[in-house]
Amino acid sequence: CTLSMRIAFLRQFHSNLWFSGAQIQALQMAEALRNLGVTVEFVGADCRAESYDVLHVFGLYAEYLPIIHQYRRRGVSVVVSPIFFKDVSTLLKRVLAAAAPGWGSFSRVYRIQREILRNADALLPNTQAEAQFVGRYFRLRCPMIVVPNGVDPRFAAGEPRLFRQTFGIEGDFVLNIGRIERRKNQWRLIQALRGTGLPLVVIGECISRKYGLRCQQVRGAEVQFLPALPHDSPLLASAYAACRVFALPSLLETPGLAALEAGVAGARIVVTPYGGAPEYFQAFARYPNPRSVKAIRAAILEAWDAPHDAEAQSQFLLSRYTWNAVAQQACQAYHQVIGRLHADCGM
């Protein structure tokens, strides 16, 4: 990286103790870039655009658009990590996604999202799957440079005892970490494990009271709900280290940071096939249909009993997806756009 390069990061303005994946991605990448000697600052609407070489936008939020226009008018290159995928787990949803360029003109949200993307000099999707989906969904043609999600190597060194002692958990168990909501699919996961005898620990903030009640209604004695853990808590790394199987059969992930963290910790991984996870885990995970309780159950039971090389899996992921490696790729992307005339992403 060019040490004099100055990068502005634009991420969601609101935040809480338990960040979303997009917020974690921005924070971790910023730290890794600073470790490489790059100046990175988080900005809002009132920052001076002239002092930056690149504006890096995380997500497609409406409040970003006037800020992006401000930076472009002042000659700053713009790159966007879309962090965008739609649920395509049914035929109807796939048809609707394919028809988006047609109905999108009637949707204010779609028009704003497309305008954000069209004002980018390059898009930095997390996977090839996301790149292809974004291109089709918004009918775009602009440079796309895959910059994957990363993982903190500290998750490879978690101590199981801390989590077990804190919450009184003994023996092997299946772990799910994520906000309790429809997209994360805990309702089907809980049903999938009923009658199997496998304990399930669900860690996360319930953001949908109605969905949370549905999950509670189908739970058995073998299901334990725990509150969300801060991302920097030693208990989080300990939870990954303590579980036998990590299950994230979401309707989509882009992909889930929690699955990467659990994978580095050596847990057996069961994750959705939708959103690009197979590009990361390859043969080290199982990918059930998230809408099939039967398929989720079969994948978890298979993962539970199958031979497993935790060390090989951890080293495979660490060799590709540390935040340091991701920051190097982001630097290369910044260099490609600096000084280039603004791209036309329309078709």
Buried-state track 192-201, b at ≥16 Cβ within 10 A, e below 16: bbbeeebbbb
Q: Do 205 and 199 meet the contact criterion of CB atoms below 8 Å apart?
A: no
Q: What is the pLDDT of residue 294?
A: 98
Q: Is 18 exposed, middle or buried (0-12, 13-18, 19+ CB in 10 A)?
A: middle
Separation CA 77–CA 231 (nearest Å): 31
Walk along the chain (347 residues) and give the pLDDT tens digit of each residue.
Answer: 655 789 999 976 554 444 566 778 889 999 999 999 999 999 887 667 778 999 999 999 999 999 999 999 988 999 999 999 999 999 999 999 999 999 999 999 999 999 999 999 999 999 999 999 999 999 998 899 999 999 999 999 999 999 999 999 999 999 999 999 999 999 999 999 999 999 999 999 999 999 999 999 999 889 999 999 998 999 999 999 999 999 999 999 988 899 999 999 999 999 999 999 999 999 999 999 999 999 999 999 999 999 999 999 999 999 999 999 999 999 999 999 986 755 556 65
The total of other beta-carbon atoms located within 10 Å of residue 120's CB is 27
DSSP 170-202: -S--EEEES-BSGGGTHHHHHHHHTTT---EEE
Cβ pair 326, 150 in contact under 8 A:
yes
Tokens found for residue 57: 């936008």
Its pTM stands at 0.91
- Using left for φ > 0, alpha for ψ between -120 and 50, and beta otherwise, residue 256 falls in beta
pLDDT in tens, 113-135: 999 999 999 999 999 999 999 99
Distances (CA, A) of 232 to 83, 228, 235: 22, 12, 9
Residue 323 DSSP symbol? H
Exposed, middle or buried by CB within 10 Å (0-12, 13-18, 19+), for 259? buried
pLDDT of residue 254: 83
